[in-house]
Amino acid sequence: MRVSKALIPTVKETPQEAEIPSHKLMLRAGLMRKVAAGFYEYLPLGQKVILKINQIIREEMERAGAQEVLMPIMTPAELWQETGRWEKYGKELMRVQDRHERHFALGPTHEEVITDLVRRELKSYKQLPMNLFQIATKFRDEVRPRFGVMRSREFLMKDGYSFDVDDAAADKTYWIMVEAYKRIFKRCGLTFSPVEADSGLIGGSFTHEFMVLADTGEAAVAMCSACDYAANLEKAFGVPTAHAATTAGGPFQKVETPGKHTVEHVGELLKLPAQQFIKTLVFIADGKPVVVLVRGDHDVNEVKVQNYLQAAEIALASGDKVYEVTKAPVGFAGPVGLKDVRIIADKALQGGHQYVTGGLEKNIHLTNVELGRDFAEPEWGDFRNVISGDGCPKCGKPLKVGRGIEVGQTFKLGLKYSQPMHCVYLDENGKDKEAVMGCYGIGVTRTVGATIEQHNDADGIIWPIATAPYQVHLLLLNPAEPEVAKIADQYYEDLKQAGYEVLYDDRMEASAGFKFKDADLLGFPISVRVGARGLKEGLIEIKRRREKDVMKVPVADVLVKVKEVAEAEWKLCTP
C-alpha cells in the first residue's frame, strides 16, 4: 500500500482524553477513532491488526479441535431468564426491544445462546466432546469505559464453549484450551502469564486468567520469582514474612495515642514495626457486621472474606456503623473487649506476640496484646492480600506483586449452564446426562491494546512482526528526485514479490524527518529508507524498530538483510 493513497491519519499531538500509552498511540498512529464513549471505529491499520490476531486464534482453535460458528448479537430475553442472568447481569447488559416489544440483550457473552443451540443438536455421547467458538462483537455497558480498547462498551471477543461427557473429559478439554491460549499469546509476541483466578462461589469450577504483564494493567498479580506459580491477587496465597515479636510480653497496657489512628502514625509514635500491629476492620456482609483482623503490614482481601462468609454482598462499614459495632471511633477499634460480633482473623497473625491494637476508646491503643489470652481465639482463615516478599506457596521463594492486563480467561463451568438449561445427551446406557461445560474468552481488541502497552517507547509502537499491520515500512526520502524514486519504486515491487507486506511512504509533500517520525510512531518491525545521500555511496538504510542503530546496507544486499531481520523477529513470535 502506498501512503499517498491510504487512510492513515497520524497525529503528532497526544490526545488529551487518553491516559495510557496504548490509547494514546492507537489514536496517534491512526489505528482507530472514537465514535462515542466506549465505541470505536477501527481504521485500516487497526483492522489489519485485528484480522491478524483473529487468524492466529482461528488456527490455534482449529488445532485444538474447536469449530467456528457465528451467533447473533441480539439474544432473546427468554434465554437469559432461564439462567436468572436477565436480572443478575444488571445494568451492564444492554437491552433492546423489537417492534413487537419483545426484549433482547446485546450479547455480552454467549453461554445461554450456545447452550440452547447445543441442547437442540446434541443427542448422543458419540457427538462429544463438542467444542465451538466464534469471533464476534460483544456489548457491555461498563460503568466506566476507559483506556480506549481496554475497557470499551463494544468490543471484539473470541468466545468458545466446550461440552464433554463427564468431569474428567471436561478437564482434559480445559487443559487443551489452556495450551492453545499459551500458543496464541506467544504467537502474538506477548509476555504473559496464565494466573489462577477466583471463580466466585461456583463449586467444583476453576479458572485461569491470561495476563499480559504491563505496569498499566488493571489487575494485580502475584508471581513467584523462581517457579511458575502465578495468581490473581484476589486468589493468591503467600507465606507471610516473619513476626516482629516471637515471645509473649507482660500484660497488655493502654497507651495514649492522641490523634493517631493509622498503623503508620501509631507505629512512628511507639517505634514499632507494622508487623506488630493488628488492624481491625468492620465489614457488613449481607446486612450483618463482621470484624476482620489482619496484621498491620497486610490488607484485607474482600473477595476472600466474601467467599469465606458465602455472602452475596460485602462492603466496608461506614464510620457510624463501626461505632455502633465496636463503640470505638474509626481508627481505634480493636479485638480486646469486643462483644457480640463475629470475628474472623487472618492466619498470618498466628504465632505473633506483643501486638498493638486499637483500644476501643478515642486516642487509646493497647500494647502487649496476646491472641487467645486477651481476646478469644477468632475464626482463622486466609483473608489478606499477598504482598511482595511473601513466600511462594509452591516453592517458598519470594513472591512479587505486579500488574497485568487480562486478555483472556478460561473457565471450567461444570453444570452451571447445562443443568438449568437442561442440556443433556444420551449416555452409553441410554440415560440422560448433563453435558459438562467449559468456556474460553479472548478479548481481541483488548489484545491489540495490550500488545501496544507492552511494546512501545517514547517514539511510538514497536509491533511484534506477527501482528504488525505491515512488516516493512519503505521510506522514499527524496521523492522529488526521479532517480531515487525509481529505485524506491523497484524495492517496493521486489519486497512485495519476496512476500512481505509493505507500506510505501511515497508522499511528495512529507519531509524525510516527518517520514522517520511516522515510521517510529507506526512501529512496523523493519523500515527500509531510500535516500539520495545513501545511494551516492551505494547504500540503503535499514532500521529494526526495536533497535536504536540504523544499518547501512549495500544496495544489492537489501533483501538478504530484510530477510535476516524478519527471521529474527519471527523467532520472538514462535511458541
* The binder of ligand ATP chosen from 352, 408, 438, 523 (CB under 6 A): 408
Cβ at position 218, least distance to ligand ATP in Å: 6
Return the number of the residue (202 or 555) whose C-beta is nearest Mg ion.
Answer: 202
Could you tell me which residues are beta bridge partners of residue 68? 133
Q: Does 142 bind ligand ATP (CB under 6 A)?
A: yes
DSSP state, 474? E
140 binds ligand ATP (CB under 6 A): yes
Pattern 231-260, ligand ATP, x by CB under 6 A: ------------------------------
Tell me: does residue 85 bind ligand ATP (CB under 6 A): no
Which 445-464 positions form the footprint of ligand ATP (CB under 6 A)?
A: 445-446
Separation of alpha carbons 470 and 458, rounded Å: 21
109 binds, among ligand ATP, Mg ion, none (CB under 5 to 8 A by kind): ligand ATP
Peptide bond into 129 cis (omega under 30): yes
Identify the residue whose cell numbers are 431468564. Answer: 81
Residue closer to ligand ATP, measured from CB, 40 or 237? 40
- Total binding residues toward ligand ATP, as defined by CB under 6 A: 15
Q: Is residue 22 within the footprint of ligand ATP (CB under 6 A)?
A: no
Residues 102-131 that bind ligand ATP (CB under 6 A): 109
**Angle CA(252)–CA(255)–CA(259) in degrees, nearest 5?**
140
DSSP category for residue 556:
G
Which grid coordinates belong to 569?
Answer: 523477529
Residues 351 and 362: their CA atoms lie apart, in Å, by 28
Segment interacting with ligand ATP, rule: CB under 6 A, options 231-239, 388-396, 402-410, 430-438: 402-410
Q: One-letter amino acid identity for 335?
A: P
Least distance between ligand ATP and beta carbon 142 (Å): 5
Spatial contact of 368 and 393, defined as CB atoms under 8 Å apart: no
**Separation between Cα atoms, residue 29 and residue 10, nearest integer Å:** 5
Specify the residue, 409 or 445, whose C-beta has the smaller distance to Mg ion: 409
C-alpha to C-alpha distance for 195 and 209, rounded to whole angstroms: 5
Site for ligand ATP in 143-162 (CB under 6 A): 151-152, 155, 157
Does 404 bind ligand ATP (CB under 6 A)? Our answer is no
Pairing of strands 436-443, 456-457: unpaired
Nearest Cα neighbor of 178 from 217, 149, 206, 150 is 206
Smallest separation (angstroms) from ligand ATP to the CB of 232: 10
Among 164, 196, 406, 541, interactor with ligand ATP by CB under 6 A: 406
Per-residue interface string for the shown chain with ligand ATP, residues 316-345, x marking contact by CB under 6 A: ------------------------------
Beta carbon of residue 340, minimum distance to ligand ATP (angstroms, whole number):
38
In the complex, what is the shortest distance from the CB of residue 178 to ligand ATP, in angstroms, rounded to a whole number? 14
CB-based contact 294:281 (threshold 8 Å): yes
Whose Cβ is closer to ligand ATP: residue 108's or residue 335's?
108
Identity of the residue, 306 or 409, whose beta carbon is nearer to Mg ion in the bound complex:
409
Maximal CA-CA distance, the chain: 93
Question: How would you classify residue 423: left for phi > 0, otherwise alpha for psi between -120 and 50, otherwise beta?
Answer: beta
Q: Which helix (H) or strand (E) holds 268?
A: helix 263-270
DSSP letters, 70-125, are: ---SEEEHHHHHHHTHHHHTGGGSEEEE-TT--EEEE-S--HHHHHHHHHHH--BG
Shortest Cβ distance from residue 274 to ligand ATP (Å)?
Answer: 30
SS3 520: helix
Find the shortest distance in angstroms from Cβ 38 to ligand ATP. Answer: 8
Least distance from Mg ion to the Cβ atom of residue 292, Å: 26
The 3-state secondary structure of 438-465 reads EEEEEEHHHHHHHHHHHCEECCEECCCC
215-247: b (≥16 Cβ within 10 Å) or e: ebbebbbbbbeeeebbbbbbbbbbebbebbbee
Q: In terms of CB distance, is 148 or 358 closer to ligand ATP?
A: 148
Is 443 an interacting residue with respect to ligand ATP (CB under 6 A)?
Answer: yes
Identify what 152 binds: ligand ATP, Mg ion, none; CB under 5 to 8 Å per kind: ligand ATP
* Nearest one of 230, 46, 72, 225 to 149, comparing CA atoms: 46
CB of 448 to ligand ATP, least distance (A): 10
Q: Does 232 bind Mg ion (CB under 5 A)?
A: no
How far is residue 20's CA from residue 483's CA, in Å, rounded to a whole number?
Answer: 43
Q: How far is the CB of 382 from ligand ATP (least distance, A)?
A: 22
Q: Work out the angle at residue 54's Cα, subtended by the Cα atoms of residues 48 and 58, and round it to the nearest 5 degrees.
A: 145
Closest residue to ligand ATP, judged by C-beta, is: 443
With CB cut-offs between 5 and 8 Å by kind, which of Mg ion, ligand ATP, none does residue 173 bind? none
Choose the binding region for Mg ion from 74-82, 142-150, 273-281, 402-410 (rule: CB under 5 A): 402-410
Instruction: From residue 187, give the alpha-carbon distance in Å to each of 180, 192, 409, 517, 564.
Output: 10, 11, 17, 28, 19
Which listed residue (21, 194, 441, 469) binds ligand ATP by CB under 6 A?
A: 441
Q: Among 409, 445, 447, 456, which residue sits at the site for Mg ion (rule: CB under 5 A)?
A: 409
For the CB of residue 294, give the shortest distance to ligand ATP in the complex, in Å: 25
Question: Contact positions toward ligand ATP, by CB under 6 A?
Answer: 109, 140, 142, 151-152, 155, 157, 406-409, 441, 443, 445-446
Question: Contact positions toward Mg ion, by CB under 5 A?
Answer: 409
